[in-house]
Structure 1
Amino acid sequence: MNTLLNSKVDSVKNRKIFDQLLEMGQLYNLTLHEALGEVCHKSSMLLEVDQVSIWMLSSDSSTLTKIASSIQMEDEVSEVHQKDYPSYFELMKEEHFWSAEQMDEHIFPISTHSNRLEFKLTDQKDFHGVLSIRYSNRREWSDDYLFVLPSIVHSIMLLVERESYKRLAMVDALTGLRNLTSFLEETTERMTKVDETMDTYFIYLKIDLFQDIQDVLGIDGADEVLKEVALRIQTLFPAPYLTARIGFDHFAVYFDTANKPQMGERYFEKADEALAKQIMVDDQEVYLTYSIGFSQFPQHGNNAKACLNAAQIALNNGRKKFSRNAQTFYQPEMYTSMSNDLHTEMNLRKGIESNEFELYYQPKVNCEDGSIAGFEALIRWNHPKLGIRGPMEFIPIAESTGLIIPIGEWVITQALKQLALWDIGHRKQYTISINISSRHFLHNDFPKYLLSQMDYYKVSPSRLVIEITESVAMMEYETVKERIHYLNELGFSVSIDDFGTGFSAFVYLQHFPIKEIKIDRQFIQEIESDEKSLSITRTIINLAEQLSLRVVSEGVETIEQWEKLKMLGCHELQGFYFSKPLNIKKIEELY
């Protein structure tokens, strides 16, 4: 080898080589393939050789593949396998550079260009491939060339590393799918080629209740689930679809009809079936459901980010109605609704801080004589710009954001404060019923807050009736059962609001120590004209009597309804026939 390296290159030519080599900095504006091809081309001119080629090693170190070359040789292969040339692969491990003199036809497929010099492409840790230099005439290599050649190798490795970092920046490390940045870049490029004859779609997919799955399986198990979901998505939506993982359990798909990919309702039904198949994680069967939002370009946005956002809005809108398996196509009014919800949430937070809420009270009357038995406290929002807002305009937002907890605590405090004021004024020992949301009722701090306020205002627990809806029992049966038992032991009465409208109604009666049921207004409104409504109401009242439960009928609007309910044995009534909800000033003036 040393005999090849004993000549000198004059300093002028050497300077020219360095100057041209420095121009390789311009290569960073090209793709990796283009840049490596340019390196080969420049290097072959600088070194005055027939060919310079770059070969990269496969991830399992079993194959060398030619990825760039200054020219294509007719006799040259494009891949070399370790099983065919084991000695050559051993040579690569041991040496940093070698010449054709170290090889024969059994080591490497030597062609008519028998003169070859090769350098190992390596960084500080790993071996990546080979820089191969071929020349027709035997020549001697000077020390100056030996100084330049490692610089060329270094330049190649810089380009390879740059591409590796770029890939890491554009690919989700866990699943290998595109990340959000890469997805938006590629979809933006594809969308420039879309014309008015083509359909273009975005799919936003989210795994339902994935946080619960991670809590059960742990982080490693959840990662295995995500990798399997990503693989299934990639299999279901191969090129020309574009797929990506864009968040924790969020995935995206883009496709257009330029390449006529499979589409249609039946295809997506098959996709649902494939995604829903069980996943095995450490011998644990995992079944998933997914919620999906769809949007279309250009109908729902003028760029990739806007269309993806529209698909997400569609998904979120669907999940308001169905917590699982929601599939929703974007509609423009969804954005308006989302915007209104956001403004409501921000104003709610301000309203809590500014004490903009007020309790209105609707009388509950004795069914026998119409005397006042107590009141139901109903929250109103004194919005500084919009005026008095009813609960249906803000309670759903409060529940979804968690603001229902401070609002519910405010209601408890105000109701107990009012009972204390009535005691000071020596008014009748009325009860006040308050509505507690399922989220607040099941909150760990609910009983503690309730007791602290009762103690502060010195009000008996029997004076406060806690109303919950039937849907609460459908959430966490055992927890609800324990909570009602505990409140009952403390002296509170628990009432079931809207009784008879849900499947769990009689579960409450059988297992929970409730004290009161409120028959839903839909039965009361038709009690005069509909025999079924009358029969259902009669059955509920008779059953309550057998179980020693107090019955309140809501929505009483006529004297005929009152008479019917009195005949059936109802205990208390509530409705517009007696009074609509009123603020405390009017309540105290009237009663």
Structure 2
Amino acid sequence: MKSLNFFKKYFKKYIEIGILSTDGESLRLEKTSIAIVPLIMGPAGIIWSLIYILTEHYLSASIAFSYAFFSLLNLLYLHKTKNFRTVQKIQMTLMLLIPFFLMWSLGGFALSSYVMIWAFFAPVTYLIYDKNSKSLFWFNAFMALVIFSAFIDNWLIEWHTSPMSQEMIELFFVLNIVCSLSGIYFLLNYIIHQKEKNSDKKIQKKHEALVNSTKQLFDNLSYLQSYKDNIDKNLIVTKTDLDGNITFANKNFYKITGYTEDEVIGKKHNIIKHPDNKSSMFVKLWATITAKKTWHGSLQNMKKDGTGYWIDTTISPILDKDENIVEYIAIRHDITRLIRQQAELTKMLYTDKLTGLQNRNALFYELKIKKKISLILINIDNFSQINDLYGDKFGDNVLIKFSALLKKNIPTERDCKIFRLNGDEFVLLTTTMEETEVFKSAQEFIKNIDSHPLSIGDEEILLSITIGISYEKNSLLLSTANMALKVARRDAKSIVVYNDAFSLNKEYENNIKWIKIIKKAIKDDRIVMFFQPIVNSEDYSIFKYETLIRLIDKDGQVISPFFFLEIAKKAKLYKELTKIVIKKSFEAFKENNYIFSVNLTIDDILDKEINKYIYDLLQEYNIAHRVTFEIVESEVINDFEKVEQFITKVKALGCKIAIDDFGTGYSNFVYLMRLQADFIKIDGSIIKEVVNDKKSALITSSIVAFAQEMNIQTIGEFVESKEVAEKAKALSVNKLQGYYFDQPLARLK
């Protein structure tokens, strides 16, 4: 049994010589037949040659042996080179000619015992896998050699002087007929069996394919029904004709709006239009879809009972084969809960928990969105002495009472807003007052404060305040008002209005100095990348790195971007710095497997040159799947379409998107869906207070809940202690970053 298995194993290896994994069925049979024929004819040739040697027919013996020898060389050549077509031609030629050469050497048909019958293997072998003119060629060649041999047969008989004995001739006749025909039968039987086997496999494969196709068809039908059920359950779908009349609405539409089919079909969407929506939005919507484009946006609709609900809407035209619009389809997702929770979160983010006034975050947001405003910065004089004398709780009550007094004295007929900036500083923003009126209002504030002592328990506290006023552009309002406040304190004045004489020369001098430093650093290649790890909150293992720009001064000191980035923007050097950051970041990570983040501003994304530079480098370095672009969330996005185009393109290449400093800026959760965010980085000002400030913990928890619902991972910044790390982990923040784990380093670990 073992010897039989051994034989089968090596027989299989032998007949598969030269066969490649990419060969088709037909080519495999060709190669098999070319290997099998020498296996039949080769041993016969060797045996025949030995008998011829014993009968002293040495020429005939060498001819018979030559077939086995040259066939072996030919097959070794096939094994080494895989050049099948050359081997095939050589083998077919050997099959055809060697038997005739042997016959001629033995004295013709009768004296050779018709040994030329072995040559019939050539046309039979080719006929197995080729029924066209090529197989006919080998048959014709065989017949031509037979006819030629018949012409020279008498001459061969006369020429051959020492024929074999009659007994040997008769023995070889029997052997030639039996062995050759048996060999042809074995070859045909093997090939037919293989073809039947292959046919069975094909039939089996077709059967399996049919079964799978049928199963897939039923699965698809099931999926389609499941999709329809899910759409009806989760999405609001309507179709309209070219005039905007509703022709179809799904079950969920009727469920949410409270309308019936009879009340909706044939009507326009005005029946659910909310009065707060601007007409300009619908003008843009119709202009988009009639131009055969898709419109996407968020808006408020109104139910039958008059209550509002928010939807995220996509409206697309349906085109016929001639590219003509035949109808419109609108697919909506109810985001009412999202909007309401966002409003609650925004309120928490923008409200001072002690006084109930708007806080520093709200102030910065107002400074971004308002056009022309004035700023009054109010400071309570010597407030620290009140805390020292009466305690912090008493001081908090003073701030609460003082806030109420400020709100009471805001001119109600004017567009004014009041904010608590920090401990004892407050800000009043106004958009309608002239400069003289602003100054007059500040004087009235001081007068009212002076004349209204604050009653705290049994104590009466008389406060005094100092005011700095600024009318500069929004980005400079707070800093310049602060300068005015400092001047007021220095000069013992109650009110000072900022003017350029306070800081202009000094600012110019500082800017010129830093511009020179930045340019020289760029020239000397001293703009470098530092890397700060972001860890998994479960086990604090490194998840990825954030790349951070640094400037190395001429003395080798590391300079934070805080000192030079804004000046670089003013000097139009920022774009060059952005390119350096992207290039050096890609260089740093090209030879490793780390995931890494690169910071981008909205201006970077909207810049065509930077866009192209990013796309080109992503293609060149082929590491897009490890790149995360962090977008600063606090920046207001005006051209959302271009930002979406950039994000869609880089995500298609494999990049991820993170929203940086989330919680300090606009914090729009609807925008997160449009930005296709993969990560939210919760701002450090929130994270670092989660241990001691319940409000910060609540805000973090709310952001995490939103992120989980939208399948977005969260990253906590400014984790500077074990307590903060553990609290953030307890709040289900996914990733953590901060000095507790590592500071930004010049080299990767």
TM-score range, shorter chain: 0.3 to 0.5
Normalized against structure 2, the TM-score is what? 0.34
The structure with the largest alpha-carbon Rg is: 2
Structure with the bigger percentage of strand: 1
Structure with the bigger percentage of helix: 2
